[in-house]
Amino acid sequence: MIRPRLAAMRALVTGGAGFIGSHLTDALIAQGATVTVLDTLSSGRRARLPEDIDLRQVDVTDTWAVSAVIEEVRPEVIFHLAAQIDVRASVADPAHDAAVNIGGTITLLEAARTVNARLVFASTGGALYGMEAPIPSDEQVPPAPEAPYGTAKYCAEQYLALFNRLHGTRHIALRLGNVYGPRQDPSGEAGVVSIFSGRAHEGHEPTIFGDGTQTRDYVYVGDVVTAFLAAGTAEQGGTWNIGTGRETSVLDLIKHIGQAAGREVEPVFAPARPGELQRSALDATAARNDLGWFSATPIDEGINRVYAWVRDGRPDRATP
Ligand SMILES: NC(=O)c1ccc[n+]([C@@H]2O[C@H](COP(=O)([O-])OP(=O)(O)OC[C@H]3O[C@@H](n4cnc5c(N)ncnc54)[C@H](O)[C@@H]3O)[C@@H](O)[C@H]2O)c1
């Protein structure tokens, strides 16, 4: 079977003004795809996108407006990255989190059906597998999220799988590790590389919650974009982990940032946050076998690029 080429495709990127979505939008345009971005600009920024982009300021929970955009644009593939991404906000207001992260995904699945589009959904690997999960965790590990955010992402994944069974579609969920890279807002846990690089560059000490031995699977944004591109033209539907398979501790991050800064960075320690996972890493062997994807950027190289971006004043249009 000949795989469709992204070059000839019409693509819709929800959340395309965000950190990952704006890099994906640039990569799709570079491949020759025709791209429309759907984004409320609630946390996204217009300045991250090319000036002539087709941007629709629409909320994914607005069923009528989403359908109207999809009927007009008729995308062949929809990269669905728009989300309520704040884990703590999901604990404070689970109903809102579910409305955006589950309800918004169902709205897109239904709209995609009218034009036969494939959906590639940005799920989570870092917030899905529980405290007892083997490390690295593969896709067979039963999800046991610690917050409504992970529960909603898992529920949305289940709708994708249901639509695949019900309607014979080939929708895809990518369970992302902790994505980092240039353009990432220095807020939230996932933004720790950006936050620490900023603190180090300004000559301040970064604050570590807990003793710094907690680990995450930090995967570089350029590699995550490659995973989305591979999923966009994959032959099969399904769910894949997207990570490095490696654990990096917060103390390791500080060491790498110190190397990028050319000096030793001394952290300050604050009490651990309750409910925080101690360890996390994703086994992405299946993505390598099925999608031909693997994480190519070593952590020290990725951190050097983030540090250079911070030193340059965090430009919105930075390349990965
Ligand atoms: N950054 C990570 O480490 C990470 C890890 C796992 C999964 N993800 C997922 O990847 C996706 C992108 O994350 P990101 O880090 O780029 O976040 P981001 O906040 O930079 O991007 C999200 C974008 O969605 C837009 N948006 C929010 N609510 C919307 C709504 N209701 N309707 C339309 N647009 C809306 C925002 O304006 C923003 O541009 C999200 O789905 C997130 O859950 C991210």
17 lines ligand 1 (CB under 6 A): yes
Q: Is the peptide bond before 4 cis (omega within 30 degrees of 0)?
A: no
Instruction: Please provide the average confidence, as pLDDT, over all residues in the chain.
Output: 95
Residue 31 φ/ψ region, left for φ over 0, alpha for ψ in the -120 to 50 degree band, beta for the rest = alpha
> Which atom, in ligand 1's list, is nearest to the CA of 43?
37
Ligand 1 atom at shortest distance from the alpha carbon of 123? 7
Query: For the residues 20-26, what does the mean pLDDT come to?
Result: 98
Q: What percent of the chain has pLDDT over 90?
A: 94
Ligand 1 close to Cβ of residue 7 (< 6 A): no
Q: 70: Cβ below 6 Å to ligand 1?
A: no
Ligand 1 neighbourhood includes 280 CB (under 6 angstroms)? no
Q: Provide the Cα torsion 249, 252, 253, 258; round to 10°.
A: 160
Say how many Å lie between the CA of residue 85 and the centre of ligand 1. Answer: 6
Distance 294 CA to ligand 1 centre (A): 22
Residue with CA closest to ligand 1 atom 1: 179
| DSSP 3-state of 242 | strand
How many whole angstroms separate alpha carbon 235 and alpha carbon 29?
22
pLDDT reported for residue 8: 84
pLDDT classification of 2: cutoffs 50, 70, 90: very low
Atom of ligand 1 nearest to the CA of 219: 3
Average of per-residue pLDDT across 177-206: 90
Instruction: Confirm if 173 and 236 have CB atoms less than 8 A apart.
Output: no
pLDDT band (50, 70, 90) for residue 173: very high
Q: With a 6 A CB cut-off, is 190 part of the ligand 1 pocket?
A: yes
- The reported pLDDT for the residue numbered 177 is 97
Q: Taking the C-alpha atoms of 254, 258, 259 and 260 in order, what is their torsion angle to the nearest 10 degrees? A: 100
The answer to whether 256 and 265 have CB atoms below 8 angstroms apart is no
Q: Which of 79, 85, 154, 183 to mutate to test the pocket of ligand 1 (most atoms within 8 A of CB)?
A: 85
Q: Of 112, 40, 49, 39, whose CA–CA distance to 77 is shortest?
A: 112
CB neighbourhood size of 153 (10 A): 29
Q: Is 16 in the pocket of ligand 1 (CB under 6 A)?
A: no
- Domains of the chain are 7-178+219-245+281-296 (3.40.50.720)
Q: What is the mean pLDDT of residues 127-133?
A: 94
Q: Are 3 and 77 in contact (CB under 8 A)?
A: no
First to last CA, the chain: 32
Residue 169, classed as helix, strand or coil, is coil
pTM value?
A: 0.97
Predicted pLDDT at 186: 86
- 149 among known catalytic residues: yes
Ligand 1 atom closest to the Cα of residue 176 is: 6
Give the active site residue among 149, 159, 180, 220.
149
Average pLDDT (133-141) is: 98
Instruction: For ligand 1, atom 21, name the residue with the nearest CA.
Output: 18
Q: Quick one: pLDDT at residue 183?
A: 97
187 lines ligand 1 (CB under 6 A): no
Question: 107 CB less than 6 Å from ligand 1?
Answer: no
Ligand 1: which atom is nearest the Cα of residue 60? 32
The answer, yes or no, to whether any atom of ligand 1 lies below 6 A from the CB of 224, is no
Give the phi and the psi of residue 77 in degrees, each rounded to 5: -140, 140
